């Protein structure tokens, strides 16, 4: 699957709380800088109790339809205030992760811009995270924005690379973004303890022709190197590929992507394989 850049359509999920505000801000910035249509989706999860009679179900279903209509009107006004323009909006009566993934597919979105609490440790494991589940399951690129981040124009991209296919795809995406916006692109290679620096070029020549690239090597585990580089270089966005792996106990043991999403102080653009 080749990911399209610049994305023609953005999908912005919202839970109507402050967690979604940064996602709106970055969607607005992305639209202004690269040009994209925006679709906002809100999921309302509701399950009818099994002991309800058919008459009670009919009454509740009518009330639910009214509630969805009212929610859509509220969402239209709320998103317009946050974005500065009127976007397409949808209210879906499904679990959030299912609603987001299905909306992304149905609307042919090229990029999902999603807010996250950025919880850590046991709290994240027990409470779970819609953003992290979407990140693990979505075939579309995702821009994950943690609560508290402030949107500013994209000028500098940090892109970690390796010899994996998904890393090369993320590099192609980052190069296209840098080329389209005349942005600075820093390519990072993490050398873990006991490893030797790469003895061949990690950046294909075709990528070099698209934009100006700076290459750096940091020592340490992948996530630690990325987070240290982000602290040192202060990029506006981190773009990286994400392999999907099944790990014992699921989210208890974070992948490199999850660790960076939780701890980095800038948005994370995840390009899936």
Res 197: pLDDT: 59
Structural tokens at position 46: 């509701």
Angle at 125 between CA 119 and CA 126, to 5 degrees: 105
Q: How far apart are CA 66 and CA 71, in angstroms?
A: 9
Q: Fold match between 9-146 and 156-272?
A: yes
Res 227: pLDDT: 95
Q: What percent of the chain is predicted at pLDDT more than 90?
A: 42
Res 125: pLDDT: 40
Beta carbons within 8 Å of 79's beta carbon, 6+ residues apart: 12, 14, 24, 40, 86, 87, 89
Burial 8-21 (b: 16+ CB within 10 A, else e): ebbbbbbeeeebbb
Indicate whether 6 pLDDT > 90: no
- What is the CA 200 to chain-centroid distance, rounded? 31
Q: How far apart are CA 37 and CA 109, in angstroms?
A: 9
Q: How confident is the model at residue 266 (pLDDT cuts 50, 70, 90)?
A: very high
The listed range with the strongest mean pLDDT (43-47, 228-232, 249-253) is 228-232
Indicate whether 269 pLDDT > 90: yes
Angle at 108 between CA 94 and CA 174, to 5 degrees: 115
Res 249: pLDDT: 40
Res 141: pLDDT: 94
Is 209 or 33 the better-scoring residue by pLDDT? Answer: 33
Q: How far apart are CA 112 and CA 9, in angstroms?
A: 9
Domain residue extents for the chain = 9-146, 156-272
CATH match for 9-146 among 3.40.140.10, 1.10.10.10, 3.40.50.620, 3.30.465.10: 3.40.50.620
DSSP 177-226: HHHHHT-EEEEEEEE-TTPPPPSS-SS-HHHHTTS-EEEEEEES-HHHHH
Closest CA to 250 of 141, 132, 114: 132
Domain 156-272, what fold? Answer: Rossmann fold (3.40.50)
Q: How far apart are CA 233 and CA 182, in angstroms?
A: 18
Q: Are 106 and 112 in contact (CB under 8 A)?
A: no
- Name which of 5-14, 152-161, 226-235, 253-262 the model is least confident about: 253-262
């Amino acid at each position: 699957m080749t990911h399209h850049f610049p994305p023609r359509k953005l999908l912005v999920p919202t839970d109507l709380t402050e967690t979604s505000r940064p996602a709106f801000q970055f969607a607005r910035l992305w639209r202004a800088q690269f040009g994209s249509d925006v679709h906002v989706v809100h999921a309302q999860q509701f399950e009818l109790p099994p002991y309800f009679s058919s008459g009670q179900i009919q009454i509740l279903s009518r009330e639910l339809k009214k509630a969805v209509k009212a929610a859509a009107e509220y969402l239209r006004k709320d998103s317009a205030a946050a974005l500065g323009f009127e976007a397409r909006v949808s209210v879906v009566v499904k679990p959030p992760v299912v609603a987001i993934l299905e909306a992304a597919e149905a609307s042919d979105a090229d990029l999902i811009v999603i807010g996250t609490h950025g919880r850590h440790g046991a709290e994240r494991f027990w409470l779970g995270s819609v953003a992290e589940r979407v990140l693990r399951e979505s075939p579309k690129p995702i821009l994950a924005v943690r609560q508290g981040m402030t949107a500013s124009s994209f000028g500098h991209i940090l892109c970690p690379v390796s010899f994996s296919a998904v890393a090369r795809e993320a590099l192609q995406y980052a190069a296209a973004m840098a080329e389209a916006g005349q942005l600075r692109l820093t390519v990072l290679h993490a050398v873990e303890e006991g490893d030797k620096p790469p003895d061949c070029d990690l950046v294909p020549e075709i990528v070099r022709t698209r934009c100006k690239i700076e290459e750096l090597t940091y020592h340490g585990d992948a996530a630690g190197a990325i987070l240290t580089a982000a602290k040192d270089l202060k990029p506006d966005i981190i773009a990286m590929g994400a392999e999907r792996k099944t790990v014992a106990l699921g989210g208890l043991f974070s992948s490199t992507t999850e660790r960076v999403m939780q701890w980095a102080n800038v948005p994370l653009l995840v390009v899936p394989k």
